[in-house]
Amino acid sequence: MSKHSNQSDRNSYSSLDARIFKSLRAYPELDSGLNRQFSFTPSSDLADILIVDSYENTARDKVNILISNEKFNDVLCISPSESAESIIKSLNLIIKGYSNSPRINKLKALEEQNALLSEANKGLVELYNLIESKNNQIQFLKNKLENIINSAGESIVEINESGEIIFANNKFTTITGYAKEQTERMNFLLLLESDKRTEFMEGLKALVGDTIGDISARLRKRDGEYIDIQGYMTLIKGKDIHYELIFQDISRKLQLEKQMKYLEEKAIVSGLSRHLSHNILNALTVAGGFLKKIKESGEQTDIMKHRWQIVDDKFKLIEEIITGYNDYTNVINLKYTDNLDIADFFHGLIRAVALKKFDKTFSAFLYNFPDHYEIDYTFRFTRSCRMEANKNFLKLGFCYIIKDTIRYFGDEPPMKFKITTEVLNGRFAISIYVDDLDVPQPVLETMCQPWNHNMLSQSFDYWGIVIASVIMEKHGGNLSIEKSNGGMKIIMLF
């Protein structure tokens, strides 16, 4: 390259608006090559772009180009293993692109015109980006405007045509968890759910003049969770096309609406269930009275006795299904009534059930509770464990487990249970084990699910265990059933 050619290139770059500072002591060849290509400021404070060989020499609010094999998230890194010519070409493109950017145009307009107030009609955010502290009055306006925008209850974000964030207020950083520095030049589109990005861009392109577009999307926070946002977007048209987005986090609002809808539906179902069960049980009582009279007036042969026994059994089954479903809907509306030492409560209950000396009148149909069972128990949980609870429902759930296990699996009485209280993963647990019981896996997988059975006839075979599972969930725990040592183990974990 001729001397005349080098001087011509250098002069072409000296007219660039970008001000450059370099410090490349570790790379003298590259340093010398850059001197032939660019003009440099004597101080890093005066520069827009820093080209350095040490991360410690980078600065905030500058375009930092680091010649290093190390990688940093907040600076542009170029490997020194590349040739000096290749690095100079890369720097040429970067500096030329920065010099032609909207940011440099704004700085130049600010320095040459000092007429920021004439741009006020572009909106608060646009005005804030243009103000650059040239005198006390402008600095006052800047501070005032910053306070107004950052104290807003909505997130205010300005993006360019490609979606890069030019400005974001404090509310945006608060709800997303990103720091101010992280939001600079972050692409807003990448924060949206992927299936909403095309729709969002189409909405931006549809904005003309003073039109306002709606925003309804889900936004990814720094921790990876998504929030629901709702608001509007407007076009800011000047030398460059920008868009202003103003929106709110409505996740809590949607959650409350969903919860209210759930509670409303639950109240309707529960009320209807109690109404229906009351009327059906009344009808059963009346029908049972008439059948009893018919039975007493008829011939009592062995065949008739067998048939009447079938009728009696079906009446009891219908009564048990209706009252069981009524218990289920009552459990859905469960409220805490007691502050219990949960371990002490269950130790007393297990002893009472094992001795068959417990009060069986607390449920509408547990008078059918069987007595052909044996219980061996071991209490390994010895510490106090207090919690808000409903002891009647806890008692109901435990007795349902024993009752339905016997009813569904107890072919040869008495059924033998081994019950242990212990610590599992730091939590209070009750393990109920039944020996020599081969339970099919499909049955195990659906025993705690009210509407997920292979056969409709199974729906009420272990309905009480379903109720017990809901009771555990209402108390912050869970019920699980698994195969264990040739038998079945039911675990109540609080």
Highest mean pLDDT among 41-45, 367-371, 376-380: 376-380
pLDDT score at 404: 85
Confidence of residue 16 (pLDDT cuts 50, 70, 90): very low
In the predicted model, is pLDDT for residue 489 greater than 60?
Answer: yes
Instruction: Quick: pLDDT tens for 46-98.
Output: 888 899 999 898 988 788 899 988 888 778 888 888 888 888 888 888 887 77
pLDDT score at 371: 80
Instruction: Quick: pLDDT tens for 230-272.
Output: 888 888 877 788 888 989 888 888 877 777 666 556 655 555 5
Instruction: Quick: pLDDT tens for 466-479.
Output: 888 889 988 989 99
In the predicted model, is pLDDT for residue 339 greater than 90?
Answer: yes
In the predicted model, is pLDDT for residue 13 greater than 50?
Answer: no
Instruction: Quick: pLDDT tens for 402-439.
Output: 988 888 887 777 889 999 999 998 899 999 999 888 88
How much is the average pLDDT of 324-334?
72
Q: State the Cα–Cα distance between residues 279 and 480, nearest whole angstrom.
A: 35
Mean of the per-residue pLDDT values of the chain: 78
Domain 106-249 sits in CATH at 3.30.450.20
CATH topology of domain 3-100: Rossmann fold (3.40.50)
In the predicted model, is pLDDT for residue 171 greater than 70?
Answer: yes
Lowest mean pLDDT among 167-181, 297-311, 315-329, 406-420: 315-329
In the predicted model, is pLDDT for residue 103 greater than 70?
Answer: no
pTM over cut 0.75: no
pLDDT score at 381: 93
Query: Percentage of the chain with pLDDT > 70?
Result: 73
Query: For the chain, which residues make up each domain, given as ranges?
Result: 3-100, 106-249, 252-333, 335-494
Confidence of residue 338 (pLDDT cuts 50, 70, 90): very high
Q: State the Cα–Cα distance between residues 87 and 33, nearest whole angstrom.
A: 10
CATH topology of domain 335-494: Heat Shock Protein 90 (3.30.565)
Q: Residue 208: exposed, middle, or buried by beta-carbon count in 10 A (0-12, 13-18, 19+)?
A: exposed
pLDDT score at 74: 79
pLDDT score at 267: 55
Q: State the Cα–Cα distance between residues 289 and 305, nearest whole angstrom.
A: 17
pLDDT score at 131: 54
Highest mean pLDDT among 116-120, 124-128, 142-146: 142-146
In the predicted model, is pLDDT for residue 452 greater than 90?
Answer: no
